[in-house]
Copies of this chain bind each other. A is one copy, B any other.
Amino acid sequence: MNPTLGVCYYPEHWPEEQWAEDAARMVHTGLTWVRIGEFAWARMEPEPGKFTWEWLDRAIEVLGNAGLKVVLGTPTATPPRWMIDKYPDMLAVDAEGRPRKFGSRRHYCFSHLGYREESRRITRLMAERYGKNPHVQAWQTDNEYSCHDTTLSYSDAARTGFQDWLAQKYQSPDALNRAWGNVFWSMDYDDFRQIDLPNLTVTEPNHPHQLAFRRYSSDQVVAFNRAQVDEIRKHSDAPISHNYMGRVTDFDHFKVGADLDIAAWDSYPLGFLLDRIEGDDAFKARFLKQGHPDNQAFHHDLYRAVGRGRWWIMEQQPGPVNWAPYNPAPLPGMCRLWAWEAFAHGAEAVCYFRWRQAPFAQEQMHAGLLRPDSQPAPALAEAAQVAEEVAALGRLEPQKADVALIFDYESDWAWQIQPQGADFGFFRLAFDAYRACRRAGLNVDILPPDAADLSDYAVVLAPGLMTLSDPLRAALAAYKGIALIGPRTDTKTDELSIPDPLGPNIPGLDVSVALTESLPPIVTEPLEGGGEFRHWFEHFEGSAPVLRRTAAGQPAIMGTKHLRTLAGWPCPETFFGLIRDLATEAGLTPMDLPEGLRLRDTASHRFVFNYAPEAQEWQGTTIPAAGVHWQAR
- Partner among B150, B327, B378, B418 whose Cβ is within 8 Å of the Cβ of A420: B327
Chain A interfacial positions (CB closer than 8 Å to B): 12-13, 39-43, 46-47, 75, 78-82, 85, 92, 96-107, 147-148, 150, 180-190, 194, 196, 198-209, 274, 281-282, 284-285, 288, 319-320, 322, 325-329, 357-365, 367, 371-373, 375, 377-378, 418, 420-422, 495, 497-502, 514-520, 522-523, 539
Contact indicator A78/B186 (Cβ below 8 Å): yes
Known: A202-B107, A204-B104, A288-B523. A185 touches B78 (CB 8 A): yes
Contact indicator B104/A202 (Cβ below 8 Å): yes
Q: Which residues of B contact A107 (CB under 8 A)?
A: 201-202
17 inter-chain pairs at a CB distance below 8 angstroms, sorted by A residue, are A46-B188, A79-B186, A81-B190, A97-B98, A100-B201, A101-B202, A102-B196, A104-B187, A105-B203, A184-B363, A285-B520, A285-B522, A288-B522, A319-B515, A360-B497, A365-B418, A365-B420
Q: Which residues of B contact A150 (CB under 8 A)?
A: 202
- Partner among B75, B327, B500, B519 whose Cβ is within 8 Å of the Cβ of A326: B519
Inter-chain CA distance A99–B536, complex, in Å, is 36
| CB of A376, distance to nearest CB on chain B (Å) | 10
- Partner among B288, B362, B373 whose Cβ is within 8 Å of the Cβ of A500: B373
Q: Which residues of B contact A320 (CB under 8 A)?
A: 515-518
Kindly report how many copies of this chain are found in the complex they form together: 3
- Partner among B43, B187, B284, B328 whose Cβ is within 8 Å of the Cβ of A517: B328
Known: A43-B183, A207-B362, A358-B184. A515 touches B422 (CB 8 A): no
| CB of A616, distance to nearest CB on chain B (Å) | 20
Contact indicator A202/B522 (Cβ below 8 Å): no
Q: Which residues of B contact A363 (CB under 8 A)?
A: 184
Inter-chain CA distance A520–B274, complex, in Å, is 9
Q: Which residues of B contact A502 (CB under 8 A)?
A: 371-373
Inter-chain CA distance A194–B103, complex, in Å, is 10
Q: Which of A105, A203, A319, A539 has the most CB of B within 10 A?
A: A203
Q: Which residues of B contact A200 (CB under 8 A)?
A: 98-101
Inter-chain CA distance A103–B209, complex, in Å, is 9
Q: In the complex, which residue of chain B has the Cβ closest to the Cβ of A198? A: B103
A-side interface mostly: loop
Contact indicator A498/B186 (Cβ below 8 Å): no
Known: A12-B183, A78-B185, A79-B186. A360 touches B498 (CB 8 A): yes
Q: In the complex, which residue of chain B has the Cβ closest to the Cβ of A191? A: B81
Q: Which residues of B contact A520 (CB under 8 A)?
A: 274, 284-285, 288, 325-326, 328
Inter-chain CA distance A408–B12, complex, in Å, is 35
Contact indicator B103/A201 (Cβ below 8 Å): yes
Inter-chain CA distance A188–B12, complex, in Å, is 13
Contact indicator B497/A359 (Cβ below 8 Å): yes
| CB of A553, distance to nearest CB on chain B (Å) | 13
Inter-chain CA distance A81–B183, complex, in Å, is 12
Q: In the complex, which residue of chain B has the Cβ closest to the Cβ of A520? A: B326
Contact indicator A364/B497 (Cβ below 8 Å): yes
Contact indicator B207/A364 (Cβ below 8 Å): yes
| CB of A326, distance to nearest CB on chain B (Å) | 4
Q: In the complex, which residue of chain B has the Cβ closest to the Cβ of A365? A: B420
Q: Which residues of B contact A194 (CB under 8 A)?
A: 81, 85
Q: Which residues of B contact A365 (CB under 8 A)?
A: 418, 420, 516
Contact indicator B39/A186 (Cβ below 8 Å): yes
- Partner among B103, B205, B207, B516 whose Cβ is within 8 Å of the Cβ of A196: B103
What 5 additional pairs, Cβ within 8 angstroms, besides A43-B188, A78-B185, A319-B515? A75-B186, A85-B194, A103-B201, A326-B422, A371-B515
Q: Which residues of B contact A378 (CB under 8 A)?
A: 515
- Partner among B47, B322, B361 whose Cβ is within 8 Å of the Cβ of A184: B361
Q: In the complex, which residue of chain B has the Cβ closest to the Cβ of A194? A: B81
Known: A150-B202, A200-B98. A361 touches B207 (CB 8 A): yes
Inter-chain CA distance A274–B422, complex, in Å, is 11
Inter-chain CA distance A278–B501, complex, in Å, is 40
